[in-house]
Amino acid sequence: MIELRAHTEAVKETLSEKKLTPVEDSAGVTRLMIVGCEMRDVQLLGPYNEVGIQVPVEPVGQSSCETYAHLYLPVTSEAARWGGVDILGMPKFIAKIDVERSGDRDTCRLAEAGAQIFEYSLKHRDGGPRKSEVWAFHSNRDGQILETGVEMEANFIESEDTDDVTFELGSHPVAKQLDDMLVSPEVHRVTIAQNISSVLKRPIKVP
């Protein structure tokens, strides 16, 4: 996962139809997180890749954990897309997602309809303590805000040393939308999660 900084007002406009409000990290700025995932063993769905482009939002209802909303959630399989859209109300679409290691670098490339959305690359990192985290995701299905919890356990590596990280936007319309939101393409934080075990909770309706 890489973290960048985005203009709060631009993110707020994107989330307005979902009736969600981004959390500011500093005046006029919110965090924008890009989470590249290899889903290697998913019950019922099988393996697929996914890239979450998400921001922290004000929780709706009684959630006490970190709460996020996806701006975009591309996936590589129709089974993953269908359930995410029809059941969870997530902004999923089919895309080409390549996650690869070459030498000492890990790279994630996202493209759709032959046009690149972005690519990021960083030096491979191993290790990190094993810990548990709980996230909540707000989405909107047919005008109803939903909350879907995710419980995960993994070896986490977190670093603000990002000198080795590169991030480049492409020519796709989503890339243009991201470019308009971002304060700059500079990456400010990296989080690596390895050996992940996670449980996706049943979505619940919130007021």
pLDDT digit string, tens, across residues 146-193: 999 999 999 999 999 999 999 999 999 999 999 999 999 999 999 999
State the average pLDDT over residues 27-54: 88
Closest CA to 20 of 8, 2, 28, 29: 8
Which one-letter amino acid corresponds to residue 170? G
**SS3 state at 177:** helix
Encode pLDDT of 175-184 as tens digits: 999 999 999 9
Q: Mean pLDDT for the chain?
A: 93
Check residue 43 and give its pLDDT: 63
Predicted pLDDT at 205 = 93
Task: Please tell me the pTM assigned to this model.
Answer: 0.93
Q: What is the pLDDT of residue 44?
A: 58
For residue 195, which amino acid is it?
N
